[in-house]
Structure 1
Amino acid sequence: MPEKSNPVDVLVVGAGPVGLVSAYQLARFGGGSVSVRIVEKHTKTVQDTYGRAVTLFPRTSEMLDQLELADPLLQHGFACRDTAAYDAQGQEVHGRGWSFLHDMKDTAFDFALVLRQKYQEEAFRAAMKPLGVEVEAPVELTAVTSINDEGSDGDDYRVTAVIRNRETGEEETVKCKYLIACDGGHSTVRRLLEIPLEGSATEDRWVRVDGLVKTDLPKPRTYCAIESPTHGNVLWVALDRGTTRIGYAYTPAPDEQQALLFDQAAAVRGAIAAVKPFTLAFERVDWWTIYTVSQRVAAHFRAAHGRVLLAGDAAHTHSSAAAQGMNTGVHDAVNLGWKLAVALRHPARADALLRTYEAERRPHVLRLIRYDRDISQLMSGRLPEGWAGEADVSAALARAMREAGRFSSGLGIAYEVAGGNPLNVVGSFVGGAAPGVRAPDVELLRPGTCEPTRLIRETRNVARFHVLVFASDGAPGIPAAVFRELEGSVPIQGLVAEGCLAFVTVLPDPVPSAYEVLDHEPLGRVYFGAKDKSTYSRFGIEIGKGAIAVVRPDGWIGTMVVLGSGAAAEIEAYFGNIFTI
């Protein structure tokens, strides 16, 4: 019989980046009141290899920055701001390949942060350890069941999992409120719960090789594309610590017709051939792989009466063509993390809130799957079926990647305003930043010193909404009246006391004292707008009128409210659909 363990609020299965970020968030948000366990079937020495995902795009870096996870990655990563593309003759061609990286503006993270997954995982594990959570490995999940109502003892631990230590063979039964499946493309959780994985594999096979190289490529420390006539659109990525990744479409040589004959030496020979007319020599190979390209997505991201949630590769798999695997998984984890933390504090609204996870994330995953299907074929050297446009494969790929640039960077990802989603609501203030879009990371000035800072830095993600009150300079009496309404709202102040929301007051210009301008104490922390007025304009707010922006914990705008009478009631109504107030 399996040994029974103490109940745990959340069990995370899988300790890749998505699982680590998920577990870290719940431990961080819970402040010691949320119990979390994370298990991984592979030992660290096996799991902690080179290779795998390497690229973080701007929106992902922003979200990790809000979680205070970006700094260790920046310390060791390669900030790639430059790109290059070469045709089959070795001539540089502009506007092709990864050129959309040059247009990733409107963010402090205007670059691709390249860091091998080994080092990312080390950083996430280190951040999680002081919070009292460490990966348990090698521990695998062997069974999972759930019930739809409260347990017989009246508790809320409705999921029962059986885990087994792969070294000792000992089994343990774990009861939890929620289970998060982050166990990859061959997810055990998905298999045990019989969740269909929809989509298909292709006949394309790709090779990736990481290592230390010597080359005459003119711009080797870039995100680079080489238009090979034999190996598709070749990927060349400058990695951390002076290393390089080379990826190409696999075309078997006569003596490699059987997959078993393809080894590291063959991978290196293929890379050398793929980058011609440039020369290449490997001084060291850190990692290599060959894999079949496929695009698949789980039929649903919630199962077992909403108590099991899928994230990352457990929910969707695709090629590395657009370098979106890590990014999409982190987006999943961040979208889910704060919602699950709120659900644990407010169980009466938990189901409605957690339904928004799939409602928001799955449409973007499906868009990625469609995009990946096209560009993976283009990168393999052929036009997608039904393609309408350029007949030249390289030109078609350039157009496809350029058009998807805002999506790939993550800066253009927006969540729909839908009747069943209480998080994205059209408010009384219209014409400015829309609900469901990323809140711009505007510049703010600190009081007194007027030192510049950024909105993301001052609104860390601790599963707390931020209500940004942009005061007007045309009618100072209006903010004071609104402040009194907000201060007098028992429901709103209850959420403030509970840590569910925090206020930030923004003034248009630096002043010696916010009180003297407002004739009232500011709400929460106070900051000044940037000297160029962009703090207001990027939210679409007129300085003479002001407005209120409610920003979700993950950095997307929830609603916009007119700065005037009735603002408190409108904000109460918004939060009343999310929390129990």
Structure 2
Amino acid sequence: MSSILGEIPMTQNESLVDVLVVGAGPVGLITAYQLARFGGGVSVRIVEKNSRSVQDAYGRAITLFPRTSEMLDQLGLTDELLQEAFACRETVAYNSRGEEVHGRGWSFMNQMKDTAFDFSLVLRQKYQEEIFRKALRRYGVEVEAPIELVGIDVDGTASSSCHSVTATVQDAEKRVLRTIKCKRLIGADGGRSSVRRLVSIPLEGTTSEDKWVRIDGYVRTNLPKPRTYCSIESPTHGNVLWVGLDRGATRIGYAFTDDRANAYAEFNEQAAITEAVAAVKPFTLEFEQVDWWTIYTVGQRVAKTFSVDNRVFLVGDACHTHSSGAAQGLNTGIHDTVNLLWKLSLVLRGLALPILLDTYEIERRPNVLKLIRYDTDISRLMTNRLPETWQGESTADVNELLGQIMDEAGAFSSGLSIAYEPTVDNPLVSSTQSFGSLKPGMRAPDIPLLKPGTFERTRLIRETPNVGSFYVVFFVAGDSQGLPMAVSAHQYLLLYNVKLGTDRSITFLTILPTKVPSVNGSLGRAYFDIETQTGYQRYGVNLDRGGIVVIRPDGWIFALISADTDVTHELESLFSGILYDPLLQCTQ
């Protein structure tokens, strides 16, 4: 397939790259960053059609929920984000009389537990992008802009190991066309994705007539708790959003109804300010400075497919769009790219079977559709209307119902309950064994650990960074008398020599239940559970028997294995379905 837009002025030299990323918003930057970080000889370029102004870059995405923060932590990005972000730990909801009401609005944020990131990380997109660009630059990759993608041709007959995707790009300043041949192309170019359009992937769903206004700036107010995630139940402007931002700024969002639109010949910045003041009544509001404002249309749409022949992929808004009602846009996009990129890296490095790439859409689509279902109801309720599927009383309190749905979706919205269900066509969630409440496909809980020697506290997520490697974590039985052996001596020795893991796609860790003076002989790096043994309890590991947890590079559980089984056989069976035998490895 191919598509070239506009008149072709001239064509210059052709270049080769393993992966071309189109779009340099946060999701695109993190996409390119992962490929650069994972290394293995995989080359990456990232292009962006816009030379973004400061004003444009201020707004849009602001909130990272706990699971997203955990994923970015595994990528080595969270520390710098926290230096600039506002860590929002408090929520509040006010009714139309200015009275505080409980269990409504964003109250689910108060229940985001079982994580070191038990808060909303609030940082405007401009500053997120600066951090991600800087991180990418450390690996020698710069965003190329303004470069616009104008054509894609996919040679479906060529081997997937070849540069079978031809991208035609245009330098917006020099008006020169260039050709970039790549093995994979990733569209992270937003809701109006050129990649999606050029490969003719439909975006299915609905776009409503509802519109919302968002305005960021510095304000003075008598709102009792302004540095919170706040909702104000306005009878005229819907469920009004109030968020304390980084650097002391504030975001206010409200429904842009026909009444609001018809009241102005032109709805400009001053009109947005006037309506914001009205929206937060009975509280007072005065803007000292406006950084950014916008009106956008609410809708829920999903791409018919997330890839073309596993050579062209869509991530983030390029493959699904929804309202900002649940603040999930950026979070969902990061979940997409973190799910895809370790798989793509292993395939391009010749370490994993191409079938691994099929699991991207298998795992992400059900979770995107779940978000869409929640978002459809939430966005209507935020505009003071009952959901279209509502079968209850027509006089139901929309704000009370909104609180119920937000609470129901809370664990999903925080990302902590997002899981990948077992299916026959997904080798990453094929096991049915469980440890207590944990099952394959669920998030691997972060647990506190102690380092050997110093007994310095650390966390499992910090010790299992996302470098494109699986982690086999051995919880040692309590009767080991200090010997860090997770399995029988025979199996233990075999594991050192097993062909799996020699290719750096698998890393071994050992966790001991109590502190000992020496961990010499442990399988991989060793750590201790803390004194209360919360790690063993959280993972449901029996202290008398021990157990093995296999964690994917992105922090989800791949498998749970009892220590009294043939562990070597179990591991080989697991990995043989997705990884190449390194002794018979084919170069991709």
Q: Does the pair score TM above 0.5?
A: yes
Q: Is the aligned partner of 1:383 residue 2:389?
A: no
Local SS of the residue matching 1:261: coil
Match of 2:343 among 339, 344, 366: 339
CA contact (8 A) 2:446 2:459 kept: yes
1:501 maps to what in 2?
A: 506
Per the TM alignment, residue 479 of structure 1 is displaced from its structure 2 partner at its CA by 3.4
Q: Which amino acid aligns with 2:279?
A: A
Aligned partners of 1:155 and 1:324: how far apart in 2? 35
Which residue of 2 is the match for residue 103 of structure 1? 111
Equivalent residue for 2:140, pick from 132, 142, 147: 132
* 1:173 match: 179
Distance in 1 separating the partners of 2:504 and 2:317: 32
Aligned to 2:6: none
2:210 to 199, 204, 209: 204
Structure 2 counterparts to residues 209-224 of structure 1, below 5 A: 209-224=215-230
2:262 aligned residue:
257
Whole-Å separation in 2 of the counterparts to 1:3 and 1:339: 33
TM-score, structure 1 normalization: 0.95
TM alignment of 1:470-549, pairs within 5 A: 470-474=475-479, 479=485, 481-482=487-488, 484-489=490-495, 493-515=498-520, 521-549=521-549
Residue 288 of structure 1, CA deviation:
0.3
Give the 3 Å change call, closer, same or farther, for CA 299–89 of structure 1 in structure 2.
Answer: same
Kept in 2, the 8 Å contact 1:205–1:293? The answer is yes
Distance 2:486 2:215 in 1: 61
After superposition, the C-alpha distances for 1:254-286 in whole angstroms (9 at most, x for unaligned) are 7x4398711101100110000000000000000
TM-score, structure 2 as length reference: 0.94
Alignment partner of 1:373 out of 376, 386, 389:
376
- Cα pair distance change 1:252/1:265, threshold 3 Å: farther
Change over 3 Å in CA distance of 1:487–1:578 after alignment to 2: farther
- Measure how far apart 1:3 and its partner are: 2.0
Q: Deviations over 1:161-188 (max 9, x none)?
A: 0011000011111110000000000000
Q: C-alpha distance in 2, partners of 1:18/1:508? A: 39
Partner secondary structure for residue 267 of structure 1: helix
Per-residue CA deviations over 1:184-232 (Å, capped at 9, x if unaligned) read 0000011111101001111111000000000000000000000001000
- 1:429 offset after TM fit, Å? 5.7
Q: In structure 2, do the counterparts of structure 1 residues 167 and 503 end up closer, same or farther at CA, with 3 Å as the change threshold?
A: same
Which piece of structure 1 moves more, 495-504 or 446-455?
Answer: 495-504
Equivalence for 1:183: 189
Query: How far, CA to CA, are the matches of 2:229 and 2:175 in structure 1?
Result: 46
Tell whether the 8 Å contact from 1:479 to 1:563 is kept in structure 2 after alignment.
Answer: no
**Aligned runs of 1:152-301 on 2, under 5 Å?**
156-253=162-259, 256-257=261-262, 261-301=266-306
- 1:479 is paired with a residue whose SS is coil
8 Å contact kept, 2:427–2:577:
yes
Q: How far, CA to CA, are the matches of 2:68 and 2:484 in structure 1?
A: 37
The equivalent of 1:25 in structure 2 is 34
In structure 2, C-alpha distance between the alignment counterparts of 1:544 and 1:182, rounded to whole Å: 48
Q: CA offset at residue 43 of structure 1?
A: 0.9
SS at match of 2:427: coil
CA offset digits 1:27-82 (Å, max 9, x no partner): 00015x11000000001436862110000000000000000011111000000000
| Pair 1:260–1:357, CA change in 2 (3 A) | farther
User: Cα distance, 1:299 vs. partner?
Assistant: 0.3
Residues 91 and 179 (structure 1 numbering): CA distance in 2 closer, same or farther, change over 3 Å?
same
Mapped partners of 1:149, 1:486: distance in 2: 45
Secondary structure of 1:225's partner? Answer: strand
**Worse-matched range after superposition: 243-252 or 278-287:** 243-252
Shift of 1:314: 0.2
1:8 maps to what in 2?
Answer: 17
Measured against aligned partners, the alpha-carbon deviations of 1:278-312 in whole angstroms (never above 9, x if no partner) come to: 00000000000011111100001011x22000000
- Name the amino acid aligned to 2:501: V
Structure 2 residue aligned with 1:518: none
The letter of the residue matching 1:24 is Y
Instruction: Identify if the C-alpha distance between structure 1 residues 427 and 85 changes in structure 2 by more than 3 Å, giving closer, same or farther.
Output: closer
Partner SS, residue 514 of structure 1: coil
Count of aligned residue pairs for this structure pair? 569
Give 2:573's aligned amino acid. A
Q: Distance in 1 between matches of 2:12 and 2:499?
A: 42
Cα distance in 2 for residues equivalent to 1:135 and 1:260: 40
Cα distance, 1:247–1:92 mapped onto 2, change above 3 Å: same
| Residue type at the aligned position of 2:578 | I
Separation in structure 2 between the aligned mates of residue 73 and residue 570 of structure 1, nearest angstrom: 39
Is the alpha carbon distance of 1:297 and 1:443 closer, same or farther for their aligned partners in structure 2, counting shifts above 3 Å?
Answer: same
Quick one: distance in 1 between partners of 2:25 and 2:263? 31
Residue 7 of structure 1 and its aligned partner are, at CA, apart by 1.2
Aligned-residue Cα RMSD (Å) equals 1.9
Specify which of 287, 301, 312 is matched with residue 308 of structure 1.
312
The aligned residue for residue 560 of structure 1 is 560
**Residue 320 (str. 1) matches residue 324 (str. 2):** yes
Aligned to 1:362: 365
Q: Which residue of 2 aligns with 1:409?
A: 414
Kindly tell me: are residues 441 and 258 of structure 1, through their superposed partners in 2, closer, same or farther at Cα, counting changes over 3 Å? same
Structure 2 CA distance for partners of 1:259 and 1:159, relative to 1, 3 Å: farther
Shift of 1:240: 0.3
Change in 2 beyond 3 A, CA 1:467/1:336: same
CA gap 1:117/1:481 in 2 versus in 1, 3 angstroms:
closer
- Does the CA-based 8 Å contact 2:486-2:563 persist in structure 1? no
Q: Deviations over 1:78-130 (max 9, x none)?
A: 00000110000000001111000110000000000000000000000000001
Q: Relative to structure 1, is the Cα distance of residues 550 and 265 closer, same or farther in structure 2, using a 3 angstrom cutoff?
A: same
Q: How far off its partner does 1:446 sit?
A: 0.6
Q: Distance in 2 between matches of 1:92 and 1:46?
A: 36
Distance (Å, rounded) in 2 between the aligned partners of 1:486 and 1:177? 40
The one-letter code of the counterpart of 2:324 is: S
**Residues in 2 aligned to 1:456 and 1:30: alpha-carbon distance in whole angstroms:** 21
Tell me the CA shift for residue 430 of structure 1.
4.8
Letter in 2 for 1:573: S
- Distance in 2, matches of 1:128 and 1:44, equals 18
User: CA shift at 1:514, angstroms?
Assistant: 2.8
Letter of the structure 2 residue corresponding to residue 437 of structure 1:
M
Work out the CA distance in 2 between the residues paired with 1:342 and 1:93: 50
Amino acid at match of 2:543: I
Matches of 2:83 and 2:133 in 1, distance apart?
A: 16
Give the whole-Å Cα distance in 1 for the aligned partners of 2:284 and 2:304.
46
The residue type equivalent to 1:50 in the other structure is Y
Residue 437 (str. 1) matches residue 437 (str. 2): no
**Alignment check: 8 A CA contact 2:351 2:579 kept:** no
1:488-517 alpha-carbon deviations (Å, 9 max, x no partner): 258x744433210100000000111234xx
1:20 match: secondary structure: helix
Match of 1:578 in 2: 578
| SS of residue matched to 2:502 | helix
Partners of 2:435 and 2:335 lie apart in 1 by 27
Q: Distance in 2 between matches of 1:225 and 1:432?
A: 34
Runs of 5+ consecutive residues of structure 2 not aligned to the other structure: 1-9, 582-588
The answer to whether 1:349 aligns with 2:353 is: yes
- Helix, strand or coil for the counterpart of 2:539? coil
CA distance in 2, matches of 1:240, 1:247: 16
Deviations 1:5-34 (A, max 9, x none): 331000000000010000000000015x11
1:516-574, Cα deviation, whole Å (9 max, x unpaired):
xxxxx110000001111111010110111100000000000000111134111100110
